């Protein structure tokens, strides 16, 4: 892993359980992740796979659930073969999703660690900014 982290936050006008479902329910994930299919039991140590198509290329990404506290926090790793990197631990990213708030408003904070350069971190931030706008819209629907 590297020292380049990306932090992205969104205020979502939905309760934490709806935000959690948007993060973990395959039907909802598909809506904000551009048709990606996710599969996991979302329990500590469980595998996670994401499959889909990006720029005409079929992909299967993978990771593992590191920590889970329903409606509050999900930490998992992520590796994408589309990156061109070798499938080894130092090429996995760590995504730490935190939900906070109460009632009908939830703050979602995502910290992605493991970028190998500032340029790569900047690209991740740009991607997550767009993706989390879709996430927010899906959760609020």
Specify the range with the lowest mean pLDDT, choosing from 39-48, 80-89, 106-115, 130-139.
80-89
pLDDT at res. 24: 98
Report pTM. 0.92
Q: Which of 34, 28, 64 is nearest to 49 (CA)?
A: 64
CATH number of the domain bearing residue 82 = 3.30.530.20
Contact 16, 97 (CB under 8 A): no
pLDDT at position 1 over 50 = no
Mean pLDDT of the chain, nearest integer:
94
Domain total for the chain? 1
pLDDT at 108: 98
How far is Cα of residue 125 from the mean position of the Cα atoms in its chain?
12
| pLDDT tens digits, one per residue of 17-55 | 999 999 999 999 999 998 999 999 999 999 999 999 988
List, for residues 99-118, the tens digit of each pLDDT value: 999 899 999 999 999 888 89
Q: 109 has which bridge partners?
A: 9, 98
Instruction: Find the mean pLDDT for residues 130-141.
Output: 96
Sole residue written with tokens 């996670």: 48
- For residue 68, the enclosing domain spans 4-140
């Amino acid at each position: 892993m590297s020292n380049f982290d990306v932090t992205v936050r969104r205020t979502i006008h939905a309760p934490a359980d709806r935000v959690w479902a948007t993060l973990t329910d395959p039907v909802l994930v598909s809506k904000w992740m551009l048709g990606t299919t996710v599969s996991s039991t979302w329990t500590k140590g469980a595998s996670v796979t994401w499959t889909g198509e990006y720029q005409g290329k079929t992909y299967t990404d993978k990771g593992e659930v590191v920590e889970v506290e329903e409606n509050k926090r999900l930490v998992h790793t992520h590796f994408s073969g589309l990156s061109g990197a070798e499938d080894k631990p130092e090429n996995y990213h760590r995504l730490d999703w935190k939900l906070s708030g109460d009632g009908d408003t939830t703050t979602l904070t995502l910290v992605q660690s493991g970028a190998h350069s500032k340029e790569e971190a900047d690209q991740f931030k740009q991607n997550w900014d767009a993706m989390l706008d879709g996430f927010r819209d899906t959760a609020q629907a």
